[in-house]
Structure 1
Amino acid sequence: MSASPSRLDQEWQTFWLAVSFLTRIPLPIRIDYSQQRMNNSSMYFPLVGLMLGAIYAGVYLALGALFSPLVCVLLVMILHLWLTGAFHEDGLADTVDALGGGYTLEDRLRIMKDSRIGTYGAAALVMALGLKAALLLDARSIPMALLVAPAISRLTPLLLMRALPYVTLSEQSKTKPVASGFPGTRLAVATGIAALIALTATPWMPGIVMTGLTATLGVAMLWGLYLKSQLGGYTGDALGACVALSELVLLMGCTV
């Protein structure tokens, strides 16, 4: 009879489960999946964002010897869309389509599940990607902005998961296992991780702590209130949208 995995081994698997949920990066280990582990994996969202940010910053610096900053930023953004499967951007487009084109709760949830993209979603996606590129080019330190923005912005959906109920038309939603039963203690740890990342980046971007607070708490509160009025809670797509919105707010702060 095999011994039970240690607590460290369990957390290591939980971290990689978060990686598999948010990215397309191949897993280097075998994961013993469970509902509880899936719930707990949300704690590592900021760390997964930091891992992605390290990749983006490293690639940007490597490309800098060959291309202009604009080309480097666009290539890194393409890499981001590939590594994440445009996970959050898809959520942004679907959510804007639903909130812009649906007149009832049922219509909004149905539109959100539709794989096709509409005018509202396409416009939001184009503007968000264009604004992201412009803000990165204006950032005090492009590599540092690429490093910290993905990490801090991934705290925002955790705040929404604690504050709002989950709503969906389908019981087979990918996000539901993550949204169910996320412990408050693990939210506190995730918040601490994001705060530590912001404090570490402060010498390069002095306003990053206040910017991070605004991006996470501000977006979570305003976006959460809007979702509460329109949907009665949040969906997986709405969580993806809040990451994209939080990242844009954070990048705005990186330019001043």
Structure 2
Amino acid sequence: MRGFIIALTFFTRIPFPLPKDVSSEEFIKSYRFYPAVGLVLGLLLWLLAKILLPYYPPLVLGALILGAELMLTGGIHLDGFMDSMDGLLSARSPEKILDIMKDSRVGAHASMALVGLLLLKFTLLANLTVSKLPLLIVMPMLSRWVFQIGMIGFPYARSQGLGKGFHEATQWIPFVLSGITVCGISFYLLGFAGPLAFVISSLIISLIAFKISSLLGGLTGDLYGAFIELSEVIILLVAFPFV
């Protein structure tokens, strides 16, 4: 329970008392609870959409849901997505790409990628119907499992960094067990569209991670965040027609 609270307080903006005396080891091991954190985020988004759906037109509802998600997460993973896009889309050498990703300044590539990502997500959210609302629960939960493929399956590109600790702490048994759990919940909420989104998003993120790792010699913490953002959109795209 303590690990879940640590993950919830550090990786969301949900007002919850911060645990005292959190060690670096506890913080790193809290990654196991990321899908549970995603489930909490999803339930909050589902509840908001359930309340607002009868009163607002689709475009307004989509904007409110997207805005609520950004507020709940603080855009923490979008930051990693933007840094990653700035580097990967620069067409530079691997060393230069890593340098660009480390730079906190926002470039043109990051801006273009951000607009494209948010526009696609907004369009999908704006077309949610009552039957499709469970997508809001599955999307953040499943994406916070899928990104762990990059953590456990590929080397870390830098000699140090917060992401390196997460990479070194990942273990296959908890990863597989949590995968079975989130897949089961997805099936319960979405029917066969849940496991379909689980499989396809896992395959696409695995392929992207493989290509990037081959280029850079590994992955980074920014890429972990980028995988969360990308997998959310992939999950929506895959499951949307079948719910």
TM-score (norm: length of structure 1): 0.87
Equivalent of 1:198, from 176, 186, 202? Answer: 186
Structure 1 residues 152-211: Cα deviation after superposition (integer angstroms, max 9, x where no partner): 111122111111111236x3x3333323221222212321221122121134xx422112
Q: 1:180 aligns to what?
A: 168
Q: 2:198 aligns to what?
A: 212
Per mean C-alpha deviation after superposition, the further-off stretch among 77-86 and 30-39 is 30-39
> Per-residue deviation at 1:29?
5.3
> Per-residue deviation at 1:36?
3.0
Q: 1:200 to 1:80 in 2, by over 3 A?
A: same
CA contact (8 A) 2:62 2:123 kept: no
Q: Which has the higher helix share?
A: 2
CA contact (8 A) 1:207 1:254 kept: yes
Q: What letter matches 1:113 in structure 2?
A: K
Q: What letter matches 1:144 in structure 2?
A: P
Equivalent of 1:242, from 218, 227, 234? Answer: 227
> Per-residue deviation at 1:49?
0.5
Unaligned runs of 5+ in 2: none
Q: 1:120 aligns to what?
A: 109
What percent of counterpart residues are identical? 31
Q: 1:24 aligns to what?
A: 13
Equivalent of 1:166, from 153, 156, 159? Answer: 156
Q: What letter matches 1:39 in structure 2?
A: I
2:143 is equivalent to residue 143 of structure 1:
no
Q: Which aligned segments of 4 or more residues in structure 1 are displaced greater than 4 angstroms?
A: none
Q: What letter matches 2:194 in structure 1?
A: I
> Per-residue deviation at 1:60?
1.3
Unaligned runs of 5+ in 1: 1-11
Aligned partners of 2:19 and 2:232: how far apart in 1?
A: 31
Task: Report the count of equivalent residues.
Answer: 240
Q: 2:53 aligns to what?
A: 64
> Per-residue deviation at 1:95?
0.5
Q: 1:96 aligns to what?
A: 85
RMSD: 1.8
Report the secondary structure of 2:16's partner residue. coil
